Chain A
Amino acid sequence: MIPIDLTFSELHATARLDDDGLYLALAGTADATTESALNALLTRLHGECRQSSACAARIDLRALEFMNSSCFKAFIAWIVAVDRLPAAERYHFRFIYNPAYHWQKRSLRAMVHFGGAIVSVESE
């Protein structure tokens, strides 16, 4: 299953499991044309994290030019799924953003507020 190297429309996704847990990098544009593929990918990665008992998911958005609200929602659904797990099975999300893409910091603010203790955000 992992590593993953996929392209959907203008979105490129790579994922791997390493000593620090899951690493997912997105590049390009996540929009209405990639929404269902992204949903399926994140569901699959959640399964991988649970199976491998990963303690963290690092989401690297530095090369992501734009993400629409529907794709944003796919991440929210993932965070909710983790939040509903028993405490011992929960893992942490670390979003890495690119300050040059101004929307990222703004949009991730809501993600942090919503995700609470299981979500953190940092720039490169």
Chain B
Amino acid sequence: MEVGVVTSPTSFDILFEPRLQVISTMRRFVLALYERVLRDEIVSSQMALVTHELLENAVKYNTADGTSLRICLLKRAGSGYLIEIRTRNHAAPEHIRIAERLIARVRDAEDPDQLYLEMIRGSAEQTEGSGLGIARIRAETAMTIDVYTVGDEIEVVAHALLLPGDSQ
């Protein structure tokens, strides 16, 4: 992905107690931030969805005291934004392995919409841990998702290069 020269970065970092009840508050806050910076309601709504889904995973599978969220909105010289949404948390080894496999499957899918529908079909039978959130991000926002692990820490990164008119 050709990012080009970046100017005017807006970034935001928060470390918080991993409680599910906090996530909706965070989503509303970042939605307001996205709308203010990106000036695009449709993309901002997509980014808020991504933030919420990633945070739920980061909180649900967290095994320590803190979960962190980092958002970077990097304005490209000329036009467009590079958007990065990162969550980081400690997790059990089996959950890290599951996340790595899932994210690789979603990232490498030739047709993210088709994969999402397949996963929806499969999820109807599952009682927990559908992985739908990650597939939903890829299908509904076209963000690319990567995962990095160090020891028992997992970082999930959703990123996209947003060009004018992309949301139309």
Residue interface mask B47-61, A partner, CB < 8 A = 1: 011001100100110
In the complex, which residues of chain B have a beta carbon less than 8 angstroms from the beta carbon of A77? 124
Query: Main secondary structure on chain A at its contact with chain B?
Result: helix
Contact of A73 with B140 in the complex, beta carbons under 8 Å: no
| Chain B residues with CB under 8 A of A69 | 53, 130, 132-133, 136
Chain B residues positioned under 8 Å from A66 (CB to CB): 24, 27, 48-49, 52
Q: Tell me the complex Cα distance, A107–B24, Å.
A: 18
SS class, residues of chain B in contact with chain A: helix
**Contact between B117 and A70, CB atoms less than 8 A apart:** no
Q: In the complex, A73 Cα to B120 Cα: how many Å?
A: 7
Chain A contributes a number of interface residues (CB within 8 A of B) equal to 24
Contact of B133 among A9, A68, A103, A114 (CB under 8 A): A68
Q: Count residues of B near A (Cβ-Cβ below 8 Å).
A: 30
Partner among B41, B48, B52, B132 whose Cβ is within 8 Å of the Cβ of A31: B52
Scan B117-133; emit 1 where CB is below 8 A from any A CB, else 0.
10011011010001011
Instruction: Please state if A70 and B130 are interface contacts (CB–CB under 8 Å).
Output: yes
Given contacts A69-B53, A70-B132, A76-B124, are A32 and B23 in contact (CB under 8 A)?
A: yes
Please determine whether B140 and A106 come into contact, CB atoms closer than 8 angstroms.
yes
A110 and B121 CA atoms in complex are apart in Å by 11
Residues in A whose Cβ lies below 8 Å from that of B132: 69-70, 72-73
Partner of A107, one of B21, B42, B117, B140: B140
* Chain A residues positioned under 8 Å from B21 (CB to CB): 9, 33
B contact set with A: CB distance below 8 Å: 20-21, 23-24, 27, 41-42, 45-46, 48-49, 52-53, 56, 59-60, 113, 116-117, 120-121, 123-124, 126, 130, 132-133, 136, 139-140
A9-B21, A73-B132, A110-B117 are known; give 7 further A-B pairs, CB within 8 A.
A68-B53, A70-B130, A72-B136, A73-B124, A73-B126, A102-B41, A103-B49
